[in-house]
Amino acid sequence: MKVPLLDLKPQYQSLKKEIDEAVQRVIDSQYFIMGPDIQKLEEEICSYLKCKKAIGVSSGTDAILLALMALDIKPGDEIIVPTYSFFATAGVVARLNAIPIFVDCDPVTFNIDPKKIEERITSKTKVIIPVHLYGQSAEMDEIMLIAKKHNIKVVEDAAQAIGTQYKDGRFVGAIGDIGCFSFFPSKNLGGFGDGGIVTTNDEVLAEKLRIMRVHGMEQSYYHKVVGGNFRLDALQAAVLRVKLPQLDAWSAKRRENASAYTKYFNEAGLADEEGRLKFDSKNKVLLPKAVYKTGSVKNYHIYNQYIIRVENRNALLEFLKKKEVGCAIYYPVPFHRQECFSYLNCKDEEFPNSNYAAENSLALPIYPELSHEQIKYVVDSIAEFIKNK
C-alpha cells in the first residue's frame, strides 16, 4: 500500500469549483497586486484568530524578517530562538546581522524550554522568538513573563500553527507582540505557492508593518523608512479565502488521525508511555504528546507534523521507504550544529534535548484525507521493522 507523507490533491478536489472560480475572478480583474482579496483575507484572519490587525506577506520567512525589521533590530542585537526549528527562524536573525542566541528544547513538546531562556538574556537581548513547533503552542505564559520582566519583545513563529490554541484558549500568534504565519502549501492552511501573514494587537506596530511591506512607503514614492517587497499575491489570497473556512475541520481530522495512531500503536504493543522524558525502553515508539489537551480548548494541537521518536531512526526511514510509506526527518541538524552558524562557537553539550530530537525523530503521514487503513499499514510496517531488527 502506498502512503504518501502528504497528498494535497484530495483537498484541492474537494474545493475545486470554488477555488477555480476565485482564481478566475482575480485573473478576469487583472488585479494581481494588493486589492480586495488581500484586505478581506486580512479581516477574515483577524476574526478567526481574534486579533486586531493582520498584514498579508510574501512568505512565513518574510513574516519573521518583516517583524524584526519593524522592531528596529540592528546589527549586534541578540535574538533568542530555539535551536530546534526550521531554518527560517534563525536565518532571518542572521540576515539582519543580529545574533541568534540558541536555547534547547523541552524534551516532551519539542518547543523552546522557558526555563533555559533567562540565563541567555543579556543587555543586548531584544526579542524572543518562540516557535509553536509541529502545531502545538510553546509555553507562552512563562515566555511572556520573562519578556515583560526584561522589557523584551516576543515574535511568535506560528508558521506551523495557524489555529492552534494555547491552554487558555487564546490563538497562538495573537499572544506575543507580533505573530508570523506561513501559507506554504504543506502548512495546515496552504496556498498555491509562497505566502504568509503577520498579526498584532498593537496598532502602531501594525501601521509600521503595513508600510514596510511596500518599501516603507505610505504615499507613493515617498519613503518614511526602508522596507521591502513583502507583499502577498492577490491570487494566493483568493485561494486562501476559500480554504480558511475549512481549516478547523482539517485540523480536527489531523487530531483524529493522531488518535488512530495512538490506538494502533497501543494495539501493537509498541506505544511507549506518552511524553516520557527520555526514550529508554527498547523496541517501542515514543508518541507525540499533546500537553494542553485539557478543558474545552478544541485546537490544543493541529498536528502540522506527527513526530515519533524511535531507536534506529535512520534504518526505519529506509525500511519505510521500501514499504512505500512516506516519512521525513524534521530537523536533522539543530542550528547550533549548522555550518553557517559555526562562527557562534556553540557548545554542543548545552543542547541535549534538541540533539536527541534531531537524531531520533521521524515524521509520519498525518494529512486530513489519510484513511485509517493507511494509518494501520504504517503502524504494521513499523511493527515489522521492530520485530525483525
Ligand X SMILES: *Cc1c(COP(=O)(O)O)cnc(C)c1O
Provide, rounded to whole angstroms, the least separation between the CB of residue 123 and ligand X: 28
Minimum CB separation of residue 231 from ligand X in Å reads: 14
Burial of 269 per CB tally in 10 Å (0-12, 13-18, 19+)? exposed
Q: Which stretch binds ligand X (CB under 6 A): 7-15, 54-62, 203-211, 366-374?
A: 54-62
Dihedral (CA of 328, 276, 167, 265) sign: positive
The nearer residue to ligand X, 132 or 153, going by C-beta atoms, is 132
Name the H helices within the chain: 9-29, 36-49, 60-70, 88-95, 140-150, 203-213, 234-243, 247-267, 313-322, 352-360, 372-388
The nearest distance, CB 98 to ligand X, in angstroms, is 17
- Cα distances (angstroms) measured from residue 371 to each of 70, 253, 261, 378: 44, 10, 11, 11
Cβ distance to ligand X smaller for residue 60 or 114: 60
Shortest spacing between CB 239 and ligand X, in angstroms = 15
Residue 79 interacts with ligand X (CB under 6 A): yes or no: no
Query: Residue 89 CB, nearest distance to ligand X (Å)?
Result: 5
Three-state DSSP class for 369? coil
88 binds ligand X (CB under 6 A): yes
Quick one: which segment of 57-65, 114-122, 203-211, 332-340 binds ligand X (CB under 6 A)?
A: 57-65
Using CB under 6 A, pick the residue from 89, 164, 199, 381 that binds ligand X.
89
Confirm if 175 and 140 have CB atoms less than 8 A apart: yes
Of 314, 316, 348, nearest to 334 (Cα)?
A: 348
- 305 interacts with ligand X by CB under 6 A: no
Which one of residues 194, 209, 231, 240 is an interface residue with ligand X (CB under 6 A)? 194
Nearer CB in complex with ligand X: 132/255: 132
Count of CA atoms in the C-beta half-sphere (13 A) of 111: 30
**At its nearest, how many Å lie between ligand X and the CB of residue 60?**
2
One-letter amino acid at 358 equals: A
- Of these, 109, 182, 251, 381, which contacts ligand X (CB under 6 A)? 182
Question: Is residue 331 reached through a cis peptide bond, with omega within 30 degrees of 0 on the bond before it?
Answer: yes
CB atoms inside a 10 Å sphere around CB 119: 7
Give the binding site for ligand X (CB under 6 A).
59-61, 85-86, 88-89, 131, 157, 159-160, 182, 184, 194, 196
